[in-house]
Structure 1
Amino acid sequence: MAWLNLYIRYPSQSYHGAEWPPSPFKLMQALIAGFNQGRNRSQPAADFESALRWLEQQNPPWIDAPDSEQGTTLTVAVPNNEDNLTMAAWANGKPESANDKAKRNALKDVPQRFLADDKPLSYHWQIAEEDAVIARQIVAYAQRITVFGRGIDLVVAWGEVSNDTPPVSAQCYLPQQAGVALRVPVPGSFAALEARYQAQFMPRVGNVWVVGLPPLHYGTARYQRADQPTGKPYIAFQLLELHGKGFWVRDARQTNEVAAMMRHLLDKALKGELPDPAAVSQWMGHGDVNGERLHILPLPSIGHEHVDGLIRRVLVTGADAELLERLAWTLEGSELLKDGQPTARLVRIFGDDTVVGMYTGEWHSRRKLPTCEWVSVTPVVMPGFDHHGKRTAKLMREALKQAGLPEPLAMEVSAAPYQRHGHRAGSYAVPNYLKYPQYHVRIRWEKPQYGALAIGAGRFRGLGLLYPVL
């Protein structure tokens, strides 16, 4: 076996793209842009097309990224594509003033990321020996890449084909069952990207303006840093209004209601994916109590002093990454039903999402912050009655054991919430079979924990949801 290694260096030691690390699919976009060099090719490039069609069939690469820190998000004013208004005003003898033009600017948020050192960003594919020749063509095309990220992210790119396995550093992102979801090329990606690139040079068909661009075509793969503990695979969705123009929100005390609506969709999706009714029952929690089942975790918005603590996202975890991926594609765009009526729409979350990353520990781990201490966002439902506090500590340790978590170094319980917009324990709605005492909890472990963590009798429906503190 051999390795195709591509390297990207940022001389400015900064990056302004929306995702980190940049996805392999984005790298294919950069290869196409670099080869075309901003021009409209009148003749097809057969060798280039053959090389990229080969690349889109390879397994997802390793990604070795330099350490980085998230900077302040910049808000910039970008002119809207409305020059027709400017020309109309000029033709009417009333040219627009600078102030009039500024009113038509759109405000865009541009994230900043500062790279800690001069280490290059690199991508590593394991390839067959007989593919070394075409891999060297990819290396030659990579040297034409000048921008990777936004337009201001100028880079130097190079590559090599080697028989030596690249070292796995602590900053290396490996394809895993859990972690951040990144877009990856799949068969058909090159054709879609090439058509999208060429569309910008063909604004007119006859005398009609072309609206929009050809759709992208890609797959997804989850990546996890080598220095992060392994968590369970998950899929995540935004909850949007039916018209899709805004979030559908619910009070955190309605966690059980949101989870129940999500359970209905998952049950239906599982019956379509699994032929065995017993397997469906097991995943929905009606089989072996010690067997694997799905966790449905509505996520209150947290992490900033001004957030409102309302539910806008839902996360589903389980042990079978392949099954979760199939469920994700089935559920994409589905409608949550309340009393049989559509009430919200599911839109899958791809790539980094700050709120999801906070709950899974990914957001903190990338910034080298400790994740040994966790607090509850929704209260823990005790796995039994605590006899007016006499058995609370014992039951809390039992809840940790049931969730597969280690014995803590320290633990404290409280009826009051630890989050700014949390609610008092006992005020969260639960089904009748969970009418046990509720407590908020702060837990400190010896080693950092990773993954979306929930404990207690309500852990499968979003109660007992934990959050890593700084």
Structure 2
Amino acid sequence: MTALVINVRLHDGRYHGEGDWPPSPARLFQALVAGVGLGGPLANADTAALKWLEKQKPPLIAAPLARQAQGGVLFYVPNNDGDAIGGGPLKVAKIRTAKVFRPYFFDPAVPFVYVWTLSEQQSDNDCAPNDDDEAHARRICALAERLYQLGRGIDMAWAWGEIISKEELEDYLSTYPGRIYRPSTGGSSTTLPSPCLGSFESLKRRHEDFGKRFKYIHDGKDWKVTFQQPPRPHFQPIPYNSPLSRQLYELRAPTPEASFAPWPLTRVVDLVTKLRDGAVERLKTALQGKEADIRRALVGRKPDGTNDISPEHRVRIIPLPSIGHFYADRQIRRVVVEVPPTCPLRADDVHWAFSGLDVVNAVLTPSGAGEFLRHYGFGDDGRYRVWRTVTPAALPGNAWRRRIEPTRKLDEAKGGNERAAEQMQAATAVCQALRHAGVRAPVESIRVQREPFESAGSRVEPFAEGTRFAKERLWHVEITFDAPVKGPLLLGDGRFCGLGLMAPVRDMVRGVQVFCNYHWPD
């Protein structure tokens, strides 16, 4: 099996294209056509190669790690309306338009990579591509050398192509310092336009009609100008999936027996803090000059407490209490570390930093016991309607309970109306927390309380000791969704500190009372 690989480098390490990240296969296809079209009409061999490329399956994409500017860059661009100012260049300010660009920034030394496998067009006798495919692929490699931009006109670029074996491709991708995006058959948050049958002809037709968009019609003594928008190019939307990297660890004692070293459930925030800070120090030593990216990826907050990165780009440390059995003590013996595909750090670097990390009387050890994850709804088949918190959620907004001075419990006791109002505010905050966590499924019912839903659990107050989360904002939550929801599910402002971890309730049957008239036989 061989593969056609197109490598593209942008000169300035900036990408100004809007609506897609990484740059879509459609953009690359248009850039190839534009590059070869600079020399005039396309040769028959070039046309045949481009039509061959549009028939291939969507390519795999590898893109460098990038961050998008928070604020936009303002550009003033003159309109194509010089006649309105009489053609005077000194008056161009009157027809300019303000545009705001939010470019992506990345390392210009890391290329964008587009990979088409050629095994689907193989001959009947062997697994090598046939002669026509080989010729078309090599022609595409030649066309890649004429590419001069990718994205907007200010995104100057150059490219080169090569045909490599499957083994060479796997070795290259395994060490690629970026993210891999693969075409997906299911739903995905990333959908990119890709060439399909008829894409080349649509670009050719658009180019021809672009020169005819203005027409002058004689109307008596006057001339009228009409404008016709050129047709849009034809591409197909393809979902791309760049799955997160997940590693399960176990807390093991530093002894020859290496038995489990359980961590108390109510000290979950302390555990996450120790693991996070230990990984940060390891990465700072190993990755010199990347301290800012390390803090953004693992800490996520600036010294003043404000967010330094979007939550979906942060590394997530999830302690997993022991559940799944009536006698499970709910102490923490396992930890999952998830690295999203858009994290500014490489996943293998992050997992290396956590592997073997020393905690108090415990060592974080990689584990292959993935079957335990099903207790928390991990996996494609883990979808459930009813979810309950194992660790309480630190709810956002005004979900705080009124604090009562311990010495005045009787004098300041809450009435039923006040308790109901607090629970209603907490339920509203749960809906807000679901939006923050990216859960869009409709909710059927919500229950909130301070007590755990299971006998082996713990009330919310001990979880707040020694943390930045006040006990008045901690709640145990049960949510029933209208449709099954996939795990893992973490809610609230403390979801990056181990709080708000939920577990699905399997085979839950609501209490039903049945009354009937029944006569025992005589």
The answer on whether the counterparts of 1:32 and 1:194 sit within 8 Å (CA) in structure 2 is no
SS at match of 1:34: helix
**Structure 1 counterpart SS, 2:116:** strand
CA distance in 1, matches of 2:78, 2:157: 26
CA gap 1:201/1:458 in 2 versus in 1, 3 angstroms: same
Following superposition, the deviation at residue 209 of structure 1 comes to 4.2
Question: Paired residue for 2:47, among 46, 49, 58?
Answer: 49
Q: Output the TM-score relative to the length of structure 1.
A: 0.52
Give a deviation string over 1:128-160, Cα, whole Å, max 9, x none.
Answer: 301111111111111100111111211121111
Aligned to 1:215: 232
Higher relative contact order, structure no. (Cα contacts within 8 Å, ≥ 6 residues apart): 1
Give the letter for the 1:4 counterpart.
Answer: L
Q: Does residue 192 of structure 1 match 2:218?
A: no
Q: Deviations along 1:267-305, whole A, 9 cap, x unmatched?
A: xxxxxxxxxxxxxxxxxxxxxxxxxxxxxxxxxxxx9xx
CA contact (8 A) 2:149 2:156 kept: yes
In structure 1, C-alpha distance between the alignment counterparts of 2:35 and 2:160, rounded to whole Å: 12
Deviation, structure 1 residue 5: 0.8
Please tell me whether Structure 1 or Structure 2 has the larger radius of gyration of its CA atoms: 2
**In structure 2, which of residues 111, 114, 117 is the aligned counterpart of residue 120 of structure 1?**
111
1:53 maps to amino acid: K
| SS, match of residue 155 in structure 2 | coil
Distance 1:193 1:137 in 2: 19
Q: TM-score, normalised by structure 2?
A: 0.47
- Determine helix, strand or coil for the equivalent of 2:426: coil
Q: Distance in 1 between matches of 2:398 and 2:52?
A: 52
Aligned CA distance change for structure 1 residues 35 and 403 (closer, same or farther; 3 Å): same
Structure 2 residue identity aligned to 1:79: P
**Which letter maps to 2:24?**
S
State the AA in 2 paired with 1:456. Answer: I
Counterparts of residues 160-309 of structure 1 (less than 5 Å): 160-165=162-167, 166-167=169-170, 168-169=173-174, 171-176=179-184, 177=186, 178-205=188-215, 207=217, 209-225=226-242, 227-228=244-245
Q: For this pair of structures, how many residues does the alignment match?
A: 298
Residue 60 (1) aligns with residue 58 (2): yes
Alpha carbons 1:416, 1:424 under 8 Å: kept: no
The match for 1:286 is: none
- Alignment partner, residue 17 of structure 1: 17
Q: In the alignment, what sits opposite 1:134? A: 136
Residue ranges of structure 2 left out of the alignment (5+ in a row): 122-128, 218-224, 248-299, 301-308, 317-337, 351-373, 400-423, 432-442, 451-459, 464-476, 498-522
Whole-angstrom distance in 2 between the partners of 1:153 and 1:185: 21
Closer, same or farther in 2 for the Cα pair 1:357/1:75, shift >3 Å?
farther
Q: Using a 3 Å threshold, how does the CA distance of structure 1 residues 68 and 426 change in structure 2: closer, same or farther?
A: closer
1:210 to 1:138, Cα distance in 2 relative to 1, 3 A: farther
CA RMSD between the two structures: 4.9
Superimposed CA distance per residue, residues 97-151 of structure 1 (whole angstroms, 9 cap, x where no aligned partner): 75xx535432212122222351211111011301111111111111100111111
Contact 1:364 1:370 in 2 (8 A): no
Aligned: 1:158 with 2:160:
yes
Task: Name the counterpart of 2:102.
Answer: 111
2:148 aligns with 146
**1:172 Cα deviation from its structure 2 partner:** 1.6
- Tell me which amino acid in the other structure corresponds to 1:152: I
Residues 370 and 147 of structure 1: CA distance in aligned 2, closer, same or farther (over 3 Å): closer
Aligned AA (2:113): S
Contact between 2:74 and 2:99, CA under 8 Å: does it hold in 1? yes
Percentage of matched positions with identical amino acids: 27
Change (3 A) 1:206 1:403: same
In the superposition, relative to structure 1, how do residues 229 and 201 fare at CA in structure 2: closer, same or farther (>3 Å)?
A: farther
Q: Distance in 2 between matches of 1:138 and 1:398?
A: 50
Q: In the alignment, does 2:397 pair up with 1:417?
A: yes
